[in-house]
Amino acid sequence: MKKALTAILSLSMVFSLIGCSGSTAENPANGDTPGQTPAAASGDKKDPVKLRVAWWGGQSRHDYTLKVIEMYQDKNPHVTIEPEYAPFDDYWKKLAPQAAANGLPDIIQMDISYLNQYASRNQIADLKPFVDSGSLNLDDVSENAVKGGEVNGKLVAMTLGTNALQTTFDVETMKQNGIDIPGKEWTWEDMDKLGAQAKEKGFLMGGFAYRHDVFFPYYLRTMGQKMYSEDGKSIGYADDQAFIDYFNRYQTWYDNGYILSLDKEAQKKGVAEEDDIYLGNAISGNGWSNQFLAVANLVTDRSLELNPMPGPGQKEGLFLKPSMYFSVTESSKNKEEAAKFIDFFINDVEANQLIKGERGVPVSSKVKEALKPELTENEAKIFDYVTWAEENSSPGDPPNPIGAVEIEKLLRDYSERILYKKVSIEQAAPDFRKEANAILARSQK
Partner 1 sequence: MNKLRENEHLTGYVFTAPFVLGFLVFTLYPILSSLYYSFTDYNLYEAPGWLGLDNYQRMFTEDDKIAKSMQVTFTYVFASVPLRLVFALFVAMILNTATRATGIYRSAFYLPSLIGGSVAVAIMWQQIFGDQGLLNSALSLFGIHSTTSWIGSPSTALWTLIALSIWQFGSSMIIFLAGLKNIPRDYYEAASVDGANSVYRFFKITLPMLSPIILFNLTLQTISAFMTFTPAYIISRGEGGPLDQTLLYSLYLYRKAFSHFEMGYASAMAWIMLLIVGVLTLLIFKSSTRWVHYETKGD
Nearer to partner 1, 3 or 45 (CB): 3
Site membership for partner 1, residue 151 (CB under 8 A): no
Whether the Cβ atoms of residue 436 and residue 235 lie closer than 8 Å to each other: yes
Site membership for partner 1, residue 420 (CB under 8 A): yes
Contacts of 13 (CB under 8 A, 6+ apart): none
Count of residues that interact with partner 1, criterion CB under 8 A: 33
What stretches of 104-187 show up as alpha helix (H) in DSSP?
A: 112-120, 128-132, 143-147, 171-176
382-383-388 Cα angle (round to 5)? 95
Nearer to partner 1, 68 or 402 (CB): 402
For residue 412, the minimal CB distance to partner 1 (Å) is 8
Q: What is the DSSP code string of 289-346?
A: HHHHHHHHHH--SS--EEE---BSSHHHH---EEEEEEEEBTT-S-HHHHHHHHHHHH
Nearer to partner 1, 175 or 264 (CB): 264
Site membership for partner 1, residue 110 (CB under 8 A): no
For residue 423, the minimal CB distance to partner 1 (Å) is 10
Stretch that binds partner 1, among 70-78, 137-145, 258-266, 363-371 (CB under 8 A): 258-266
Q: Name which of 150, 116, 129, 152 is nearest 339 in CA terms.
A: 129
What is the C-alpha separation between 352 and 358, in angstroms, rounded?
A: 9
Of positions 86, 223, 262, 380, contacts partner 1 by CB under 8 A? 262
Of positions 65, 123, 162, 289, contacts partner 1 by CB under 8 A? 123
Whether the Cβ atoms of residue 276 and residue 264 lie closer than 8 Å to each other: no
Nearer to partner 1, 308 or 403 (CB): 403
Nearer to partner 1, 92 or 188 (CB): 92
Site membership for partner 1, residue 422 (CB under 8 A): yes
Nearer to partner 1, 54 or 131 (CB): 54
Site membership for partner 1, residue 269 (CB under 8 A): yes
Of positions 184, 372, 409, 434, contacts partner 1 by CB under 8 A? 409
User: Which neighbouring-strand residues pair with 315?
Assistant: none
Q: What is the DSSP code string of 39-50?
A: HHHHH-TTS-EE
Whether the Cβ atoms of residue 109 and residue 80 lie closer than 8 Å to each other: no
User: What is the CB-side half-sphere exposure of residue 236 using CA atoms within 13 A?
Assistant: 22
Site membership for partner 1, residue 190 (CB under 8 A): no
What is the C-alpha separation between 307 and 169, in angstroms, rounded?
A: 7
Nearer to partner 1, 121 or 201 (CB): 121
What is the C-alpha separation between 203 and 195, in angstroms, rounded?
A: 8
- Going residue by residue from 4 to 43, which x/- string records binding to partner 1, judged by CB under 8 A? -xx--xx--x------------------------------
Residues near partner 1 (CB under 8 A)? 2-3, 5-6, 9-10, 13, 89, 92-93, 96-97, 99-100, 121, 123, 262-267, 269, 405-406, 409, 413, 416-417, 420, 422, 438, 445
